[in-house]
A and B are shown apart, each in its own frame.
Chain A
């Protein structure tokens, strides 16, 4: 089992729709969770961090964490073509930052 798992996609949504990205992790002791966005040929940029169960909202982005289910998700409301990128879920475990394989999102105008 991979430490951090994501559906590789691609996930295609129409402009203005909600995009839902999911991630599961294997280590129940993980405490910190992050979503990064990576455009092709660029390095990742941090979108959201979440540390406790529940929802955390920042603009059009909402991160959701459920530690009991070892599940973290990212919702993007009112998706825009500029949101088209690969979204990486990351988990901090034992001082290491481990990434999932990423989900490619395509927002169609």
Chain B
């Protein structure tokens, strides 16, 4: 399958600071990227869908001013968690999909801990 690289794999930050997570498609052009959050023992919750060059579409209940998503190129999308709080601690995972209704491949995930 295609390769999607996500960094960092884990991060610990202080409450009130911002954290940026990168997601790169290494061997294909990712026209669409999805950002998910997963709490322990729960399924993936879609936070937002971003298409290259367009503003991200956020799911209901997800604060777009808190979770900033940028998808400026066909190989890179970033998620910035602004003014992080302990309740933002979670496993954040990106997924990338190419042209057409194709499979989506996942990055390794980022475990965020806010202290």
Binding site for B on A (CB under 8 A): 31-32, 34, 36, 42-46, 49, 51, 88, 90, 92, 95-102
Contact = CB atoms under 8 A, between A and B. Distances in A.
Contacts, number: 50
The secondary-structure label for the interface of chain B is: strand
B103 interface: yes
Given A31-B101, A46-B103, A101 B42 contact: yes
Given A43-B109, A96-B34, A49 B46 contact: no
B106 A45 contact: yes
Interface of B: 1, 6, 32, 34, 36, 42-44, 46, 49, 51, 93, 95, 97, 101, 103-109
A42 B1 contact: no
A99 B104 contact: no
Contacts of A51: 101
Contacts of A46: 1, 103-106
Dominant secondary structure of chain A at its interface with chain B? strand
Contact of A96 (B42, B49, B105): B49
The 6 nearest A-B residue pairs measured at CB: A43-B109, A101-B43, A43-B106, A99-B44, A32-B101, A43-B93
Contacts of A97: 34, 46, 95, 97, 104
Nearest to A92: B101
